[in-house]
Chain A
Amino acid sequence: MIRTEELTKSFDNLLALDKLNLNVKKGSIYGLVGVNGSGKTTAIKHLTGIYRQDAGTVTIDGESVYDNTGIKKRVGYIPDDLYFFPNYTIKAYAGFYKRLFKTWDDERYKSLLRTFGLNDRFNINRFSKGMQKQAAFIFIMSAMPDVMILDEPVDGLDPVVRRLVIQRIVEDVSEREMTVLISSHNLKEMEGICDSIGILKRGKMAIERDLDELKSDVHKIQAAYPDEVPPGIEKYKGLNIRHIETRGSVEIMVVKEKEEVIRRAIAQFKPLVYDLLPLSLEEIFIYEMEGEYNEILV
């Protein structure tokens, strides 16, 4: 549904996106994560047709996004840094969206207003950041887009509203097969709703997998040995170890490998205890990003 191939963008001498390949399946929720400056917002601005790529392609349903009204009419976008026309009420802005998007649903608009408890006669620019986010969400959801692209959508929202927003998105995905791409630093929330995850690293796609598959592929292992930990990382030749540390006779590792392969590799050293611990998305992200923030993590 949403696809970038070899997407490249530079700002002066800074390479912001380096041959980025991204693929979002129809009717799925895709989480785009990465450290600050990894290129998430730049990628999103290409997906919404704001930036023109230096090289590569950006398509939605096989059609190029840039300067394509047909595609843009199907895309709803909520940026992190919101903008509304000065001195516009929610009602006036809704009128503008209604004229722009033929798919606009008045009933849904009214229902969302009630749900979020916003008065549509109020000036949006006088709202708090959270309320502005709610207003933006109401406009986009009422436009009934096929694709929704959200940059830090729940940033600034209280937990109740956050849950409401996520609930509405999930409903639309399941009922209308809406495709959603979310960029957020709130990985716990992302873990709860995303079908697949893309981790950006210095403008490149480091990992792009279904979330379940990703979680089943990355494991945290604790192995306790009777005397001391067998020395050297070389002993695990063939394992994709993302992190390793030793605490006395206990060895802790994060390994990107199938469970069976890991078990076989460790069994040869006959540990007393062997534990396979579940890894959260946040932990996977942190281990993947090790090296980006060496000083902080150390």
Chain B
Amino acid sequence: MRSLFNTALLKEQLKRYWPIGVITFLAYFLGCLMPIWNNAGSKYPSPDEMIQLLEMQNPIIIISNIITPLVAVISIFSYMYRQNSTGAIHSLPFTKKQLFASNVMAGYLLTILPLVLFSLLLLAVPVEFRRDYAYSGNPYMYTKWIAIDIFPNGLTYGEVVNTLPVVTGFFARTLLSFTFYYVLFITAAMMVGNHIVYFLVSAVLPFIAAGFCALFGVTAFFYLFGYGIERVLIEKTLTFTNPILMSTGFTYAESSEPYINKIDGMGGYYIAYVVIIAALLVLSYGMHRARGLERAGDTVVFAPLKNFFIFMISLSGMVLMGIFLMAMLDSVAFLYVGFVIGFIIAFIIAQMIAEKSFNVFYKYKAGVAFWQLKALMRHAAVAVALLAAVVITCKMDLTGYVRYMPEASEVAGVYFGWSGRLKSYDPASEAYEKQFISDPRIIGETLAAHGQVINARAEQRKAFLNSISSSYDRQEHISWEYQPIIYRLKNGKIVTREYRLSKAFHDEYFSDIIYSETVILSDLFWLEISECLNQIALRPYIYTQQNDEERINHNYKEIMIYKADEIRSLIEALKKDYVKHKQNGSRVEEYDAVCFDAHTKTNECGGIWGSYYLDIGYGKNTLEWLNTHGYKVEKLD
């Protein structure tokens, strides 16, 4: 049986491109390890760098996740983009399978060997968890909320952060991310026939799925005029198709969404990634076998892909120009004019990229480039058909999406959202349940307001068009607000809608609901699970006004409350102040009066974990509570 790899080629490629691995390692060593080791040896060591690194939050790790695989792939496979190098390599004694496998393996080793070595070195110097503001008597210390998954039981003072399981977890997650991008870039390399297009396609591929969502979501959004924006879907797609975004917390994930540092319940996603990586690898190999070597140097080596490439650029140009002209000229008619102009311009640009020439009108006949015109018409016909499908579906509400509203009898609870999303709790947990408001009055009022939104579609269309206008005068008159509504049905189904509404409309139908005490406190549902709270840190501050300038003074000692009975009674004071502050629009109520930030810390309990922060503003009730219980607001020394 023939070997899968050609060792001579594998060794040669490693020999040729070793600097990629060495530079990557040096970046890790100098940018990550040195600061950590340096810090570990200092008088007051801080584990922050190490924790940040283990969370995949270190910028060098993030950048190398993209750059190292990108460079490794183009270096290893660059021979494919020139006729002479392709010929020279393919005439040598290895099969296409061996050539592909050996090259892929060489690039992969260059990508991951620095990571392996780096991960091993991470274990070399134990970094202990220490903070210079340790509170005696309380074993639980703050960690950043994101580290909770990596350290589910928190970290105690003096505990080693970089243990073998934690570093192994870091290595495995980073490896998964690296491998994903590496294979994605190989897929890009196999599609194209020259270096420039490789970089272009590599830049686009990680966002292509989200791009599709955005393209059709935004198009639909224009025809729905503010109804049902699927921002969450776009973000989910973007996050799921980019492990690096998952790791950086670029988007906030719900419990059911991927989040690479989240270990519990992520098995399915890890497996999905492995499956996607395997599928991309198989696809790449298929393309490697199928690509005609005579195509070396072409923009895209597969004819159908070339047409797709031209079409997608044309379609994007169409949408962008349409939006641009409509916003510039304040007219929906210019949306369509922009569509036509944008499509033609983008089509010509796409042709130039595809043909690698500015001279794409070389087949002239009677002054008109018929050849181009025919191709343009073909592509435009597909674009018009797609657009027509979106317009008809949205305008006529063929899916029933726009007019859908659940019956009051179906609704178990409503939630007005944390930027239109549910919080990241396990659906089986108490916390997940508690974030919904089950008060029938609120549910009824919400459904009524929702009904008004649906009935006032024409009015909102006008508001929307004005809101995107570039005309300052018109923007001044009509401002708008996003209003998410999330229903939890009795059958467990979640229905999410988000509307862009004129401020006047919003004030009329939603203000009473969302500024009601019940809704405001629904955001603090976790305070209801008081047995889970083990500390509340109050950070006093004062607003002052000097020479008409507003200043904020944080120069006060933090007050820590640990006792369970005190926590329970403090919560009531906090709630009162919080509701008042919110109802006042979170504005400064009184200058020179004591305000509070409250940081609460919970153990893993009832489905919630981590630290929660709330700004309660002017804390009259909180201050009274402190005085009653013998605590004082004192200035820092």
Residues of B within 8 A of A11 (CB): 294
Whether B84 lies near A50 (C-beta < 8 A) is no
Q: Which B residue's beta carbon lies closest to that of A93? A: B12
CA distance A81 to B12 in the complex (A): 22
Whether A101 lies near B293 (C-beta < 8 A) is no
Whether B12 lies near A50 (C-beta < 8 A) is no
Residues of B within 8 A of A212 (CB): none
Residues of B within 8 A of A96 (CB): 8, 12
> In the complex, what's the smallest C-beta–C-beta distance from A69 to chain B, in angstroms?
5
- Verify if B87 is at the interface (C-beta below 8 Å from A): yes
Q: Knowing A81-B83, A99-B11, A100-B93 are in contact, say whether A69-B2 is a contact too (CB < 8 A).
A: yes
Residues of B within 8 A of A85 (CB): 12, 16
Residues of chain B from 269 to 301 with CB closer than 8 A to chain A in the complex:
292-294
Residues of B within 8 A of A75 (CB): 91
- Verify if A72 is at the interface (C-beta below 8 Å from B): yes
Residues of A within 8 A of B85 (CB): 83
- Verify if B434 is at the interface (C-beta below 8 Å from A): no
Q: Which A residue's beta carbon lies closest to that of B89? A: A83
Interface string of A40-52 (1 = CB under 8 A from B): 0000010011111
Residues of B within 8 A of A79 (CB): 84, 87-88, 91
Whether B91 lies near A48 (C-beta < 8 A) is yes
Describe A's contact surface by its main secondary structure.
Answer: loop
Whether A49 lies near B84 (C-beta < 8 A) is no
- Verify if B82 is at the interface (C-beta below 8 Å from A): yes
Interface string of B14-53 (1 = CB under 8 A from A): 0010000000000000000000000000000000000000
CA distance A68 to B2 in the complex (A): 11
Residues of A within 8 A of B568 (CB): none
Q: How many A-B residue pairs have CB under 8 A?
A: 63
Question: Contact partner of A50 among B9, B11, B79, B87, CB < 8 A?
Answer: B87
Describe B's contact surface by its main secondary structure.
Answer: helix
Residues of B within 8 A of A100 (CB): 6, 8-9, 92-94
Residues of A within 8 A of B293 (CB): 45, 50-51
Q: How large is the interface on A (under 10, 10 to 19, 20 to 34, 35 or more residues)?
A: 20 to 34
Whether B94 lies near A50 (C-beta < 8 A) is no
CA distance A72 to B94 in the complex (A): 8
Most-contacted residue by chain B among A11, A72, A83, A84 (CB, 10 A): A83
CA distance A63 to B227 in the complex (A): 66
Residues of chain A from 78 to 111 with CB closer than 8 A to chain B in the complex:
79, 81-85, 96, 99-101
- Verify if B96 is at the interface (C-beta below 8 Å from A): yes
Residues of B within 8 A of A68 (CB): 95
- Verify if B98 is at the interface (C-beta below 8 Å from A): yes
Q: Knowing A11-B294, A99-B11 are in contact, say whether A45-B96 is a contact too (CB < 8 A).
A: no
Whether A69 lies near B94 (C-beta < 8 A) is yes
> In the complex, what's the smallest C-beta–C-beta distance from B107 to chain A, in angstroms?
16
Residues of A within 8 A of B8 (CB): 96, 99-100
> In the complex, what's the smallest C-beta–C-beta distance from B62 to chain A, in angstroms?
30
- Verify if B620 is at the interface (C-beta below 8 Å from A): no
Residues of chain B from 52 to 93 with CB closer than 8 A to chain A in the complex:
79, 82-93
Whether A49 lies near B88 (C-beta < 8 A) is no
Residues of B within 8 A of A50 (CB): 86-87, 90-91, 293
Interface string of B223-258 (1 = CB under 8 A from A): 000000000000000000000000000000000000
CA distance A22 to B599 in the complex (A): 84
Q: Which B residue's beta carbon lies closest to that of A42? A: B294
Whether A101 lies near B12 (C-beta < 8 A) is no
Question: Contact partner of B93 among A45, A51, A83, A101, CB < 8 A?
Answer: A101
> In the complex, what's the smallest C-beta–C-beta distance from B362 to chain A, in angstroms?
15
Residues of A within 8 A of B294 (CB): 11, 51
Whether A69 lies near B93 (C-beta < 8 A) is yes
CA distance A98 to B79 in the complex (A): 21
Residues of A within 8 A of B6 (CB): 100
Residues of B within 8 A of A73 (CB): 93
Q: Which B residue's beta carbon lies closest to that of A70? A: B93
> In the complex, what's the smallest C-beta–C-beta distance from B312 to chain A, in angstroms?
23
Question: Contact partner of B91 among A52, A77, A84, A101, CB < 8 A?
Answer: A77
Q: Which B residue's beta carbon lies closest to that of A84? A: B88
Residues of chain B from 475 to 496 with CB closer than 8 A to chain A in the complex:
none
> In the complex, what's the smallest C-beta–C-beta distance from B393 to chain A, in angstroms?
39
Q: Which B residue's beta carbon lies closest to that of A80? A: B84
Whether A83 lies near B84 (C-beta < 8 A) is yes
Whether A82 lies near B88 (C-beta < 8 A) is yes
Residues of A within 8 A of B88 (CB): 79, 82-84
Question: Which A residues form the contact surface with B (CB < 8 A)?
Answer: 11, 45, 48-52, 67-69, 72-73, 75, 77, 79, 81-85, 96, 99-101
Write 30 A-B pairs (CB below 8 A) sorted by A numbering: A45-B87, A45-B293, A49-B90, A51-B292, A67-B95, A68-B95, A69-B93, A69-B94, A69-B98, A72-B91, A72-B93, A77-B91, A79-B84, A79-B88, A79-B91, A81-B83, A81-B87, A83-B79, A83-B82, A83-B85, A84-B88, A85-B12, A96-B12, A99-B7, A99-B8, A99-B12, A100-B9, A100-B92, A100-B93, A101-B93
Question: Which B residues form the contact surface with A (CB < 8 A)?
Answer: 2, 6-9, 11-12, 16, 79, 82-96, 98, 292-294
Q: Which A-B residue pairs are the 8 nearest by beta carbons? A: A99-B8, A72-B93, A83-B88, A81-B84, A73-B93, A83-B84, A48-B91, A83-B85
Other contacts beyond A82-B84, A83-B89, A100-B6: 5, CB < 8 A: A69-B94, A72-B92, A85-B12, A96-B12, A99-B8
